[in-house]
Chains A and B, each alone.
Chain A
Amino acid sequence: MPAVQETIDRVRSIDLDQYKYGFETTIEMEKSEKGISEDVVRFISAKKNEPEWMLAWRLDAYKRWQTMQEPDWARVAYDKVDYNNIYYYAAPKRPAAMSLDEIDPEILKTYEKLGIPLREVEVLEGIAPERRVAVDAVFDSVSVATTFKAELSKAGVIFMPISEAIREYPDLVKKYLGSVVPVTDNFFATLNSAVFSDGSFVYIPPGVRCPMELSTYFRINERDTGQFERTLIIADKGSYVSYLEGCTAPKRDDNQLHAAVVELVALDDAEIKYSTVQNWYPGDNEGKGGIYNFVTKRGDCRGARSKISWTQVETGSAITWKYPSCILRGDESRGEFYSIAVSNGMQQVDSGTKMIHLGKNTTSRIISKGISAGRSQNTYRGLVSAHKKASNARNFTNCDSLLIGDQCGAHTVPYIESKNASAVFEHEATTSKISEDQKFYCLQRGLSEEEATALIVNGFVRDVLQQLPMEFAVEAQKLISISLEGSVG
């Protein structure tokens, strides 16, 4: 409850310059040559000391990518990316840190400014609050620190940069990498497969409940740099993990590309909860600059009774192209998608999910809340399908859109495909604006127009916010209010 008050305070305290994560860190970087080529792919692989099989995998992806075309079916319009005008690899010049003390203090400062607790020491010594989150921080192309590694390994949990995992756990990586999002899944995923530089790897052994929340913070710092992280999470039989992801970038006039791939695998009785607060730089009010967020996220409920739950709060990026999905392969598996997508200014969001029911008695649930303001366009695009053998599949979908102002658009494009008579699908969608009567009621009780709007919007997204871990929910609520700043009145 105090979160609402904080939201209101926060809205008040903001000046016109809304994006507080827009600072730049000055640090010496090592980059690949500009553009993409086989040499660049080899360079990245060599930088990571990768085994031969990994290089071969990348080169294969690169070859296939050259024959592919950028998708154009989404409801987004942007100047095409010049793939030869991007650095595909940028890393701080210092050698990889072995402990936090070795990390460049500038980077540590950056993460402090972002409010991300890298200093596990403080937590362990009881200086910082007791809540413990293990963090993997990715700065441009490399992972700079993974905290709580020792404690996690006691539980048998592997949580490390994927570049390390490729060397240390090649069998696990080989077995699962690309098994959910195939190399040629789509243009951006294939590009990622060729040039991904780092990301997180998580393995939870059978029967283990991960003792703390795992988290990755992504930061794009360097100019003209693309970020292509790759995350792979495997929850073995009967295990549980909750994973949080946050993203920020400096303000720049030009657009930057972020093309990540996230793969989740849940085996029998395992559960993965994946939460994202995406706050990449959205560009200015005229649509200049901002991140192109072209992300492929997919979870495979491979085992019986497994469960994967996606929760996302999307407030940033100039363009969002993102559909975290679930393949419900195991019998009685369950997929969930909870989303809040806020767009303001000139932002364009095309986001949603796919729930693909393959196994028997599988269930899925989709709750999507879109809020459009300014001159933005906000699209929910989703697929729910039940295949022939998915008897008794169940889906419930609810997509609500809220429009603030008459210059924006809110769109809903669901595909609902049922090939099984015993499957039951229910879908409902509404589009409306904030009711004038509700607003007057709040004003009559003394709330200002902005406070009233924030309050009603918070009510609108509440079902989704409740799915987030507490601290994330508070942060998300602040972000939503900040994103809508200036849209009222």
Chain B
Amino acid sequence: MADIANLRTSAETGLSTLFETARKGFGSDKAIDREEAFRFFEAAGLPSRRVEAFKYTDLRAAMQEAAPPADAPSLDVAKAAVASATAFSAIEAVRLTFVNGHLIRELSDLDRVPAGVSVSPLNDALSQGDARLKNLAPVAQARENPIYQLNTAFLADGALISVEAGAKVETPLHLRFVGAGTEGFSTATRVLVEVADGAEFTLLETHEGPNGLTYQPNDALDVHVGKHAAFRHARINREGDKAIALSTISVRLDDESRLETVNLVTGAVLSRHQIFMHVAGENVNAVVNGATMLGNGQLADSTLLADHAAVGGVGREMFKTVIDGDATGVFQGKIIVRQMAQKTDGKMKSDCLLLSDEGQMMNKPELEIFADDVACGHGATCGAPDQDLLFYLMARGLPKPIAESLLVQAFVGEAVESVTHEGARAALIGEIEAWLASRG
């Protein structure tokens, strides 16, 4: 069997070639060890379904060719692309715009970041040897992950965001990622967010791109939430219908900190969103949600690792998936409670509605518990919409599609209800409605 694994696919060979080219452009900075990351990636190759963590999302089979790293677009191309990007656009926010994985300074609000926040483009930070770079990649399990390794190896652009201790920042920062062009490409971006002790910060993130374009975005978010600090995050994946979208959040939580993150997926032919959460401090409170709505041909994978390594953490994870057409939903969630993490209270739930006979849902919720004084649980359900409820609504005069839409909206809506930022919550609900409307 060993020899089969060693047979390199065209995409794997392509990635090696691309890396050879890309490395010539790397600066002499020591903060990011791209070489090491690629070495680790190359040793194992693209993960296939034989790799347990990719059992349901066979990247080796899905990624047939490696797309070359995108060049920075011209300002005109970038402007045109941004004009069509609408996700979260109605919200008053400070925006950083990335087109094809490159920060477009002219279309970013670098000069008007709110008080208490500082933003540096990643490339500036690298050339200046910014001290904050040592805080990249805060979670060990992420560093062992092939998607994250690829991101590190090809890392081209990004930003460093710091929030001062005690700053309660009301205006959210919006990371707007847009894809454009006619030729396939790949991106690798990394944003580091440091929320210092006692600070509060909201980050919005959107990913959009044109249909018909085969592109491969790979974005990573490294977050460190300090003591008594709060980090709130809402993300929309509305990538084009041929995109293979890979994303990773790795977040380290200190004492008494709060995390709120939600990811809403309607886009990409294949997407995998990974969350590595490391509960490093005591009495942390984390809400991690996902809302996924898929139609024909799509596959979306949400993979979560909640690693409790400190006393008294409370984790609430809720993932809602709606499957239409022949789409596939994947949820893999693992709660680890280490021996020192007594009094951990972890609840994880994954629910799926199958709207068509061709759709499928793969659920793998796991518990790995080494502490005895805990209350942990997970639940998973899967099935068609409740026929009794449907009948009830129809008996009140609603046509079936409307009745079904109402039920679906209520079902998915639960995952975004907990979003603190009102505008973001409303926009997420809008996304859900728009998806239902487009279903017809």
**Footprint of B on A, CB under 8 Å?**
69, 73, 388, 401, 403-433
Contacts and interface: CB of A to CB of B under 8 A. Distances in A.
A3 B187 CA distance: 66
B363 A421 contact: no
A69 B359 CA distance: 35
Contacts of A415: 362-364
Contacts of B342: 406
B367 A418 contact: no
Given A418-B361, A427-B381, A428-B379, 4 more contacts: A411-B366, A412-B365, A414-B363, A427-B378
Interface of B: 1, 52, 339, 342, 352, 354-357, 359-384
B357 A421 contact: yes
Contacts of A416: 361-365, 380, 382
B374 A406 contact: no
A418 B371 CA distance: 32
Given A414-B365, A418-B352, A433 B373 contact: yes
* Top 4 A-B residue pairs of the complex, sorted by shortest distance between their CB atoms: A424-B383, A421-B354, A403-B372, A416-B363
Nearest to A377: B370
Contacts of A413: 364, 366
B369 A421 contact: no
Contact of B377 (A73, A417, A429): A429
A73 B366 CA distance: 15
A401 B382 contact: no
Nearest to A416: B363
Contacts of A407: 339
Given A404-B372, A416-B382, A427 B367 contact: no
A351 to B, nearest CB: 15
A84 B52 CA distance: 31
B348 to A, nearest CB: 9
Contact of A431 (B1, B377, B384): B377
A415 B350 CA distance: 12
B369 A431 contact: yes
Nearest to A428: B379
B366 A427 contact: no
A25 to B, nearest CB: 40
A421 B359 contact: yes
A411 B383 contact: no
A401 B354 CA distance: 30
A95 to B, nearest CB: 46
Contacts, number: 120
Main secondary structure of the interface of A (DSSP, over half): strand
Nearest to B340: A406
Contacts of B356: 421
B369 A409 contact: yes
Given A406-B339, A429-B379, A430-B377, A418 B360 contact: yes
A73 B49 CA distance: 14
Contacts of B378: 412, 427-429
A431 B362 contact: no
B377 A414 contact: no
Nearest to A401: B369
Contacts of B382: 416, 418, 423-425
Contacts of B368: 409, 411
18 contacts: A388-B357, A406-B371, A407-B339, A408-B372, A410-B369, A411-B367, A412-B378, A413-B366, A414-B366, A414-B380, A419-B360, A421-B357, A424-B384, A428-B378, A429-B365, A429-B379, A431-B369, A432-B374
Contacts of B360: 417-419
Given A69-B1, A418-B354, A425 B380 contact: yes
Nearest to A422: B384
A418 B342 CA distance: 35
Nearest to A409: B370
B431 to A, nearest CB: 23
Which of B362, B363, B367: most chain A Cβ within 10 A?
A: B367
Given A413-B366, A414-B364, A425 B381 contact: yes
A404 B384 CA distance: 39
A427 B380 contact: yes
Nearest to B377: A430
Nearest to A69: B1
Given A431-B374, A433-B374, A417 B379 contact: no
Nearest to B356: A421
A409 B362 CA distance: 26
B53 to A, nearest CB: 12
B354 A431 contact: no
Contacts of B1: 69
Contacts of B376: 430-432
Contact of B362 (A69, A417, A432): A417
Given A416-B362, A418-B361, A433 B380 contact: no
B375 A432 contact: yes
A415 B373 CA distance: 26
B3 to A, nearest CB: 13
A335 to B, nearest CB: 18
B359 A428 contact: no
Contacts of B355: 421
Nearest to B324: A421
Which of A410, A419, A420, A431: most chain B Cβ within 10 A?
A: A431
Contacts of A429: 365, 367, 377-379
B367 A431 contact: yes
B345 to A, nearest CB: 10
A425 B361 CA distance: 11
